[in-house]
């Protein structure tokens, strides 16, 4: 799953201390074990599919759901989440190895490779640009020069490939929602460089004024919400001021160094309708004060006034002119989504997608981050679901609708693989009935320690009330695990709905359901290893998704798109 807040990202990237587990055997070729099954006879004259008539006599889902087993999930995951795959970072050796492994499983199962014109019809190649920060970045304010990774740093793109003079504009907290907008008084900010405060307005009791029941809002927990809004407004860059009085910005910047030095990636050719993502820089409180031409006391007074008013207040600041040089080195490379297609019977022109991402964050400071849960667990669940459906088809009980088993790259870099697929679909999106996305289903979070089986379900009701009802009914009938919907709340400050690959389908009004076990101490850490996976829980969660997929693929009518919930 894609990381959330900047500070959580810091903990994952720089502070993880768990030891990397001993290498699992990965060099041998693994033959998928064929399960022995008793083929139930079909009625004479019945269609070779799970038609309504056949289903009334025999519930074939109960024959094939249990073929998703702990043993097979473990077998695949022990390979994909081993040190040999080097953390599966997008564009790197381990990701390529994982793509080949998954494509071989799909081929061996008998799935079709649907990608035309590819050297491997199971692989959808596309070109990305890898960028790294060049040496010598500087920021000059009022005749003083500030240093990279001491006084400021940045993420993502940079429009400042050479020293550039800019006149920034102060945009308060950079928030816009009903009843509160920092942009109303600014007018058009297209092409401008904004100064924005991190955090959000707080009342006298130090509680967020825009949050729910005293909890932080998305604006206070995730700078990317502000960056996304600035992108929508057409801004060129944002300079975020860290106003934490107890912070130690130089120390924080130094600790962030290893993460910041790692490459970021973007599409070689951005979609024509999309604005380039805004460049995001972070500056110390002292530098921020200089940029605003003010003092720490005056800045604190501004924050107090905004919190007391519960709305933006007039800014007394007159930002100074700034010169910045923050060049990036660019390198093109290719990466791959992996696709396996199972053709349906009488409704084969309609398509169900079952997805996961198989990339992870690679090697950090010489330590392999294997991502067994994130998202090795989802990837092997997709492989096992493919096994169950292909066996059903071989036995004469294949799905009525076609199914695309889709494992994508680049999720950790910004949901890039799923964005590429939905912008360049192999099958028409208008014929795609739903996406069931599996991202982290192998562990237990702190909220459920010592409790029974559970899974978080996110997004199932946002576009289709029927998808939500089908998922609930399938779970009640077959698996009966706790469905936790707390992260489905549109006010959820974690914003999980926007942080995995289902969201790129939802943007195209395709109903989605996202299955998730929640975060844990090893999330994006070196300790996310196979030996910590709870395979019994993982098996049950994967089977639960299978049963929902079975119903979606075999029901008489395509599910309705009848909701538009935030």
Q: What is the CATH number of the domain that holds 74?
A: 3.40.630.10
Contact 113, 107 (CB under 8 A): yes
Phi, psi for residue 414 in degrees, rounded to 5: 125, 35
Note whether 300 and 360 are same-domain residues: no
Kindly state whether residue 35 falls inside one of the protein's structural domains.
no
Same domain membership, residue 373 and residue 270: no
Alpha-helix runs per DSSP H in 377-523:
378-394, 416-423, 465-474, 502-506
In a domain, 307, yes or no: yes
Q: What CA–CA distance (Å, rounded) separates 277 from 351?
A: 32
C-alpha–C-alpha distance, residues 155 and 263, integer Å: 10
User: Do 94 and 152 share a domain, yes or no?
Assistant: no
- Per the domain annotation, does 478 fall within a domain? yes
Strands 193-197 and 169-170: parallel
User: In what order do the strands lie in the sheet containing 432-438?
Assistant: 264-267, 123-133, 328-342, 401-408, 347-357, 432-438, 512-516, 454-458, 482-484
Q: What is the extent of the structural domain holding 290?
A: 135-326
281 neighbors 154 (Cβ within 8 angstroms)? yes
Distance, in Å, from the CA atom of 430 to the CA atom of 519, rounded to the nearest integer, reads 33
Q: Are residues 223 and 341 in the same domain?
A: no
Nearest in space to 61 (alpha carbons), one of 559, 441, 543, 556: 543
Residues 140 and 220 in one domain: yes
452, part of any domain: yes
Q: Are 284 and 179 within one domain?
A: yes
Q: Which of 266, 294, 326 is the last residue of a domain?
A: 326
- Give the three-class secondary structure for 171: coil
Query: The CATH number of the domain where 144 resides is what?
Result: 3.50.30.30
Instruction: Answer whether residue 36 is part of any domain.
Output: no
> Are residues 429 and 290 part of one domain?
no
Is 22 within a domain? no
**CB 541 within 8 Å of CB 35:** no
Sheet-wide strand order for 279-283:
152-155, 279-283, 237-241, 193-197, 169-170
Q: Which distant-in-sequence residues (6+ apart) come within 8 Å of 211 by Cβ? A: 200, 217, 220, 493
For 82, the token pair is: 């081993």
Note the pLDDT of residue 280.
Answer: 96
Q: How far apart are CA 429 and CA 435, in angstroms?
A: 11
Q: What is the dihedral of CA 238, 240, 241, 244, to 10 degrees?
A: 170
Instruction: Give the pair of three-digit tokens for residue 260.
Output: 């910041």
| 525 and 494 within one domain | yes
State the pLDDT at residue 248: 84
Tens of each residue's pLDDT in the chain, 566 residues:
877 644 443 333 333 333 333 333 333 333 333 344 333 434 333 444 444 444 457 999 999 999 999 999 999 999 999 999 999 999 999 999 999 999 999 999 999 999 999 999 999 999 999 999 999 999 999 999 999 999 999 988 899 999 999 999 999 999 999 999 999 999 999 999 999 999 999 999 999 999 888 889 999 988 989 999 999 999 999 999 988 767 788 888 888 888 888 888 889 876 555 667 899 999 999 999 999 999 999 999 999 999 999 999 999 999 999 999 999 999 999 999 999 999 999 999 999 999 999 999 999 889 999 999 999 999 999 999 999 999 999 999 999 999 999 999 999 999 999 999 999 999 999 999 999 999 999 999 999 999 999 999 999 999 999 999 999 999 999 999 999 999 999 988 899 999 999 999 999 999 999 999 999 999 999 999 999 999 999 999 999 999 999 999 999 999 999 999 98
Centre a 10 Å sphere on the Cβ of residue 43 and count the other Cβ atoms it contains.
Answer: 10
- Give 303's contacts (C-beta < 8 A, 6+ positions apart): 197, 201, 202, 243
d(CA 36, CA 69): 13
Q: How far apart are the first and last CA of the chain?
A: 20
Task: Check whether residue 243 and residue 370 sit in a common domain.
Answer: no
In a domain? residue 341? yes
Closest CA to 546 of 518, 517, 515: 515
Q: Which of 369, 519, 282 is nearest to 13 (CA)?
A: 369
**Counted domains in the chain:** 2
> Exposed, middle or buried, 531 (CB in 10 Å: 0-12/13-18/19+)?
exposed
Residues in the chain: 566
Residues 202, 245: contact at Cβ < 8 Å? no
Among the candidates 278, 293, 326, a domain finishes at 326
Closest CA to 124 of 342, 407, 385: 407
Pair (156, 249) in one structural domain: yes
Domain endpoint, select from 276, 299, 326: 326
Residues 247 and 395 in one domain: no
Q: What are the tokens at 90?
A: 């997008």
Q: Tell me, what's the pLDDT at 4?
A: 61
355-392 as b/e: b if 16+ CB within 10 A: bbbbbbbbbbeebbbbbbbbbbbbbbbbbbbbbbbbbb
Residue 566 lies in a domain: no
Pair (143, 96) in one structural domain: no
Question: 177 is written with which tokens?
Answer: 């929602």
pLDDT at 271: 58
Grouping H, G, I as helix, E, B as strand and the rest as coil, residue 332 is strand
Cα–Cα distance, 516 to 443 (Å, whole number)? 9
């Amino acid at each position: 799953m894609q990381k959330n807040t900047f500070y959580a990202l810091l903990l994952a990237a720089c502070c993880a201390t768990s030891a990397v587990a001993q290498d699992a055997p990965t060099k041998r070729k693994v033959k998928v074990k064929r399960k022995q099954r008793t083929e139930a006879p079909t009625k004479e004259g019945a269609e070779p599919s799970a038609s309504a008539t056949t289903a009334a006599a025999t519930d074939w889902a109960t024959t094939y759901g249990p073929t998703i087993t702990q043993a097979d999930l473990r077998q695949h995951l022990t390979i994909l989440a081993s040190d040999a795959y080097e953390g599966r970072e997008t564009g790197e050796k381990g990701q390529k190895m994982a793509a080949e492994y998954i494509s071989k499983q799909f081929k061996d199962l008998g799935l079709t490779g649907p990608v035309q014109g590819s050297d491997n019809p199971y692989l959808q190649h596309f070109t990305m640009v890898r960028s790294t920060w060049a040496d010598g970045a500087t920021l000059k304010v009022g005749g003083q020069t500030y240093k990279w990774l001491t006084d400021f740093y940045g993420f993502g793109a940079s429009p400042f490939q050479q020293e550039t003079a800019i006149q920034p504009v102060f945009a308060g907290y950079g928030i816009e929602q009903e009843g509160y907008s920092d942009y109303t008084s600014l007018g058009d900010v297209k092409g401008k460089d904004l100064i924005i405060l991190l955090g959000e307005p707080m009342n006298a009791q130090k509680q967020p004024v825009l949050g729910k029941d005293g909890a932080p809002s998305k604006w206070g927990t995730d700078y990317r919400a502000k960056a996304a809004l600035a992108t929508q407004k057409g801004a060129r860059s944002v300079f975020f001021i860290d106003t934490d009085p107890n912070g130690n910005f130089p120390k924080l910047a130094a600790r962030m160094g290893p993460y910041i030095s790692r490459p970021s990636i973007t599409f070689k050719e951005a979609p024509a309708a999309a604005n380039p993502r805004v460049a995001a820089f972070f500056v110390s409180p002292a530098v921020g004060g200089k940029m605003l031409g003010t003092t720490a006391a005056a800045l604190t007074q501004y924050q107090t006034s905004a919190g007391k008013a519960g709305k933006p207040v007039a800014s007394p600041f007159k930002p100074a002119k700034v010169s910045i040089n923050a060049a990036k080195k660019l390198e093109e490379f290719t990466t791959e989504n992996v696709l396996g297609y199972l053709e349906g019977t009488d409704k084969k022109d309609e398509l169900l997608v079952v997805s996961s991402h198989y990339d992870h964050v690679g090697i950090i400071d010489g330590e392999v981050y294997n991502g067994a849960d994130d998202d090795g667990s989802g990837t092997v669940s997709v492989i096992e679901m493919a096994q169950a459906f292909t066996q059903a088809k071989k036995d004469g009980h294949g799905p009525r609708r076609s199914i695309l088993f889709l494992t994508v790259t680049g999720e950790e870099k910004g949901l890039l693989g799923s964005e590429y697929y939905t912008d360049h679909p192999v099958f028409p999106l208008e014929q795609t009935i739903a996406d069931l996305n599996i991202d982290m289903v192998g562990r237990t979070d702190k909220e459920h320690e010592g409790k029974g089986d559970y899974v978080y379900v996110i997004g199932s009701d946002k576009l289709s009330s029927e998808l939500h009802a089908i998922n609930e009914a399938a779970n009640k009938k077959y698996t009966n695990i706790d469905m936790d919907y707390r992260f489905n709340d549109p006010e959820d400050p974690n914003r999980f709905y926007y942080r995995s690959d289902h969201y790129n389908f939802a943007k195209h009004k395709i109903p989605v359901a996202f299955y998730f076990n929640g975060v844990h101490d090893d999330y994006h850490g070196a300790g996310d290893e196979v030996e910590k996976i709870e395979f019994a829980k993982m098996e049950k969660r994967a089977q639960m998704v299978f049963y929902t997929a079975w119903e979606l693929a075999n029901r008489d009518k395509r599910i309705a798109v009848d909701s538009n919930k935030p």
